[in-house]
Amino acid sequence: MDELLKIREEAIRRIKEASNLKDLNSVRVSYLGKKSPIQAAMKSMKTMKQEDRASFGKISNQVKQEIAKAIEEMKANLEEAEMNARLASERIDITLPSNVVPIGSLHPISVVKDELEELFLGMGYEVAEGPEVETDIFNFQYMNLPKGHPARDMQDTFYIDENTLMRTHTSPVQAHVMLEKEGKGPIKVICPGKVYRRDDDDATHSHQFAQCEGLVIDKNITMGDLKGTLEVFAKHMFGEKREIRLRPSYFPFTEPSVEVDISCMNCGGKGCNICKGTGWIEVLGAGMVNPHVLEMCGFDPEVYQGFAFGIGLERCAMLKYGMDNIRDFFNNDLRFLEQFSRKG
């Protein structure tokens, strides 16, 4: 009996001494295998008395189970230690640079255009397009700028021949849309696109730029609706705190016509160098569609009325992102483009 307890003690000690799974396994073989000292001790059972034999058998089983349990526990410990050692050896320098996965970017003009499209699509506007190589009739005459009109001087034009030109504004798309509708409203469209002026390129001028026209025509559209719509635009594009201000102006295709200022996003209206101290920044032109334009484009001005506006996309982007050179848009320097890979 003492012998069994001694064996158990020795086994537990050897289990604890095992420093790896291999050693542990040999401990298991020597104590639980066929040649184990327990097995040998069991042989002496034959010579025991009946009542001693029973208790001896019970204890020897107990010893075996205890040893087996100790081995299992030790095995789990050793396995965990080995795994930890492996993990430790697999350590990498997490500060080394990442694989260079390319991140693309939309051009900022597309970003602004997408923002406008999303806003206006949500308000039920469609997006219309028109040709960039346009006729004099659509670009000027349907826009109430007959030949010889002094306001034609406001837009120096690239002519291709006497009747064809590079469109100077997106307004002719209004005429295309109206004529397609054959005098039946309502119309609710925006028309983004490229336009061209015979201007030398410098920091603030570009012979090519992008506009987004807006046109809403129905029976009861008012100038108040124009004001409200532009307020939504200003807040969406430049922030909730923006306010707008309408100033009378002149465009041949609208009457009344207004220039629209927004409160300066830089100083909030107090006056700074960006708004030239006025607190306001001019962002777009707008007005109520001139009855002559409605009529020429097949709409009865006694029945229908509406508003139109024209937004300069480069100007929007420059104000929004604090840019001061329009040429940056067309140079497409990657160091410029990469900045627009972020969203929002």
Neighbours of 43 (CB within 10 A): 8
Q: Cα–Cα distance between 175 and 295 in angstroms, integer?
A: 10
Sheet holding 133-135, edge to edge: 133-135, 164-166, 159-161
75, 227, 235, 236: residue in contact with another protein (rule CB under 8 A): 227
180 binds another protein (CB under 8 A): no
200, 240, 342, 344: residue in contact with another protein (rule CB under 8 A): 200
Q: Return the residues of window 137-166 that contact another protein according to CB under 8 A.
A: 148, 150-151, 153-154, 158-161, 166
Q: Cα–Cα distance between 262 and 97 in angstroms, integer?
A: 44
CB of 343 to another protein, least distance (A): 11
102, 182, 273, 342: residue in contact with another protein (rule CB under 8 A): 102
23, 183, 231, 271: residue in contact with another protein (rule CB under 8 A): 231
344 binds another protein (CB under 8 A): no
32 burial via Cβ count (<10 Å: 0-12, 13-18, 19+):
middle
* Antiparallel, parallel or unpaired: β 126-127 and 187-196: parallel
CB of 88 to another protein, least distance (A): 23
Q: Can you read off the two tokens belonging to residue 4?
A: 């069994």
Closer Cβ to another protein, 110 or 141, answer by number: 110
Q: Which of the ranges 8-16, 22-30, 73-81, 327-335 carries the binding residues for another protein, by CB under 8 A?
A: 327-335
Q: Return the residues of window 2-41 that contact another protein according to CB under 8 A.
A: none
Identify the CA nearest to 324 among candidates 270, 260, 285, 266: 266
Cβ atoms of 201 and 218 within 8 Å: the answer is no
Q: Return the residues of window 262-291 that contact another protein according to CB under 8 A.
A: 288, 290-291
Q: Return the residues of window 237-266 that contact another protein according to CB under 8 A.
A: 245-250, 255-258
96 binds another protein (CB under 8 A): yes
* Residue 339 Cα to chain centre, angstroms: 13
